[in-house]
Amino acid sequence: MIIDIITVVPGILEGPFSHSILQRAQNKGIVQIRVHNLREYASGKHKNVDDYQYGGGSGMVMMIEPFVNCIEHLQKENTYEEIIFLSPDGETLSQNMANELSLKGNMIMLCGHYKGIDQRIRDHYITKEISIGDYVLSGGELAAAVLVDSIVRLMPGVLNDETSALTDSFQDGLLSAPVYTRPAEFRGLKVPDILIGGNTPEVEKWRFEQALLRTKERRPDLL
C-alpha cells in the first residue's frame, strides 16, 4: 500500500514514521509512506498555498490549485482508492474504520492548516473525511500520523505476533484486560495468581471477565 500525505509542514511528519512499528512496516515493504510538500505544487513567485476568505473573516484558507496539482501529479503514477481529508467535522475515527482502511489500496491524505481548505476540494476530490476526535488541532498532520498508525499496525506482517492486534481494545467490542510482566512481586505488589498458574483456559476466562468489567466501568456505551 502507498500512503501519500500532502502537507504544508512536512517537518511535523519527519518523526512519526521513522521509528518502531511504522518504520519496520516500511522496511519490510508492506507500506510506503511518502510525505509531499504542498508548497512545491504552488504556482507564482511566492508559492502561496493560502489566501484570504471570500466573504471576509479571520483565518486564511488553503487554496484549491496546489492541492489539485499535487493530487493529479500523484495520480499520474498510481491509482488511489481513497483521497482522505483530515477534518474535525469528518467521521470520527474508530477501530472499525481503521480495520476497513487497512484492507484498502493506495490512499492520499490531505492535511489542512489555518482555517481549513477551500470547500471545492472537499466537494470534488475527497472521498472520505475523517476526524480523530471532537477537538481542534492546528493542522491535519498529527491527525494523519494517528490515522496512518492505526491503519498500518493492522496490516498483515507488520506486528510480530499476528494475534496481538486482535486482542487490543475495541477489536471485540471490549476494552483490553490488564497486563503484567516480571517480577511476580514488586515491593509487595503482586501479579494475580491466576496468570502465574499456567492454566490457559482459566487465564482466558479471567481475561474475558476483566475485559468485561473494565468495559462496564469505563465505557458502558460499548456494551
Binding region for ligand SAH (CB under 6 A): 86-89, 111-113, 115-117, 131-133, 135-137, 139-140, 143
Nearer to ligand SAH, 136 or 189 (CB): 136
Least distance to ligand SAH, CB of residue 62, Å: 8
Cβ–Cβ under 8 Å, residues 86 and 111 = yes
Q: Nearest residue by C-beta to ligand SAH?
A: 112
Least distance to ligand SAH, CB of residue 128, Å: 12
Nearer to ligand SAH, 17 or 207 (CB): 17
E-only strand ranges, 44-162 = 50-51, 61-62, 82-92, 107-111, 128-131
Q: How far apart are CA 212 and CA 116, in angstroms?
A: 40
Nearer to ligand SAH, 95 or 176 (CB): 95
Least distance to ligand SAH, CB of residue 9, Å: 11
Cβ–Cβ under 8 Å, residues 8 and 137 = no
Closest by CA position to 122, among listed 71, 172, 165, 198: 71
* Furthest-apart CA atoms within the chain: distance in Å: 71
Q: Cα angle at 7 between 97 and 60, to 5 degrees?
A: 105
Least distance to ligand SAH, CB of residue 118, Å: 11
Nearer to ligand SAH, 60 or 155 (CB): 60
Do you find a cis peptide bond into 183, omega within 30 degrees of 0? yes
Q: How far apart are CA 60 and CA 172, in angstroms?
A: 43
Least distance to ligand SAH, CB of residue 23, Å: 23
Nearer to ligand SAH, 102 or 131 (CB): 131
